[in-house]
Amino acid sequence: MGDIFGLRNFGVNLTRLAPGGESALLHRHSKQDEFVFVLEGEPTLVTDVEEITLSPGMCAGFPAQGIAHQLVNRTDQEAVFLEFGDRAAGDEGNYPRDDLEASLRPDGKWVFKHKDGRPY
Amino acid sequence: MGDIFGLRNFGVNLTRLAPGGESALLHRHSKQDEFVFVLEGEPTLVTDVEEITLSPGMCAGFPAQGIAHQLVNRTDQEAVFLEFGDRAAGDEGNYPRDDLEASLRPDGKWVFKHKDGRPY
């Protein structure tokens, strides 16, 4: 949503996560901070440390190089939440449970590779 | 709230604005982008262009060097909203209706001066 207003320093998503859905693969960023705020439903915050069921009004923040995380909807109701992330140059995505590494190119596009460096 | 989680690239406030309250003086930033999302109540978005009454679920974004803005609560109910802003180095605050200029020091503290340069 930030793009609508011409924001360039960070991005804002209003995400509607269907039952059974996952917001992303379990991941952490090297430079980008992230923040989520739950508006509806009870998504589960899954990290490489623990799992927590969230509810409306709860929030969580993920500093760069912190714990890996994802939101999963294990209920039969839609979950709705706001996601914020800055656009730090040279950011990389690390996926501890998947054969995937991501890097942000200078033109703002993400490049995805296997962990041994082979491109997808 | 971002500080609680150790976020450094942007800040997050959950603001409760009492009836008659103003979130800030009318202002714009030179480098910082800002975003607000209304959770409760009907705060009025006042800008140097127009005024808009917001309601829960509505949002607004203010790119650096864009229109000057503030939120004012003209109702008799509390207004609650989320505020986001990045922490761009060298940011300055411009207040078109007040004798005030603000500049962000390298140590993260704001310095406020009259428009003729005299310190407060």
Q: Cβ separation of A9 and B60 shorter than 8 Å?
A: no
State whether A5 and B86 contact (CB < 8 Å): no
Residue B83 neighbours by CB distance under 10 Å:
17
Q: Which of A1, A3, A7 best probes binding to B when mutated, by most B CB atoms within 10 angstroms?
A: A7
* Mean pLDDT (whole number) for B88-97: 94
Determine the average pLDDT of the residues in B37-55: 97
pLDDT of residue A113: 96
Dihedral-angle region of residue A85 (phi above 0 means left; psi in -120 to 50 means alpha; beta otherwise): beta
Q: B67 at the A interface (CB within 8 A)?
A: no
Contacts of A42 (CB under 8 A, 6+ apart): A53, A54, A55, A75, A77, A79
pLDDT tens string A65-119: 999 999 999 999 999 999 999 999 999 999 999 999 999 999 889 999 999 999 9
Residue A62's pLDDT is what? 97
Instruction: Please state, in angstroms and rounded to a whole number, the distance separating the CA atoms of residues A45 and B16.
Output: 26
Check residue B62 and give its pLDDT: 97
pLDDT digits (tens, 9 = 90+) for A33-56: 999 999 999 999 999 999 999 999
**Overall average pLDDT of the B23-42 stretch:** 97
- Tell me what pLDDT residue A120 has: 87
- pLDDT level of residue B9 (50, 70, 90 thresholds): very high
Q: How far is B86 from chain A (nearest CA, A)?
A: 7
Average pLDDT of chain B, as a whole number = 96
- CB of B89 within 8 Å of a chain A CB? The answer is no
Query: What are the Cα distances from residue A99, in Å, to A36, A48, A117?
Result: 25, 16, 10
pLDDT surpasses 90 at B120: no
Beta strands in B41-78 (DSSP E): 44-47, 51-53, 59-62, 69-72
Which of B83, B68, B112 lies closest to B17 in space, CA to CA?
A: B83
Which residues are CB-neighbours of A46 under 8 A, at least 6 positions away?
Answer: A26, A69, A70, A71, A72
Using CA atoms, how far apart are residues A72 and A84, in angstroms rounded to an integer?
17
pLDDT value of position A108:
85
Phi-psi region of B11 (alpha: psi -120 to 50; beta: other; left: phi over 0): beta
| Residue among B9, B81, B106 at smallest CA distance from A85 | B9
B117: left (phi over 0), alpha (psi -120 to 50) or beta: left
Q: Which pTM value belongs to this model?
A: 0.93
Q: What is the mean pLDDT of residues B36-63?
A: 97
Q: Give the pLDDT score at A52.
A: 97
Tell me if A114 sits within 8 A of A100, measured CB to CB.
Answer: yes
* Dihedral of the alpha carbons of B16, B22, B24, B26, in degrees to the nearest 10: 140
User: Is residue B108's pLDDT more than 90?
Assistant: no
Chain B touched by A11 (CB under 8 Å): no
Q: Is B49 on the interface with A (CB under 8 A)?
A: no
Query: Please, are residues B38 and B58 in contact by the beta-carbon 8 Å criterion?
Result: yes
Q: With an 8 Å Cβ cutoff, are B7 and A32 in contact?
A: no
Residue A21, pLDDT score: 97
User: Which pLDDT value is given to residue A75?
Assistant: 98
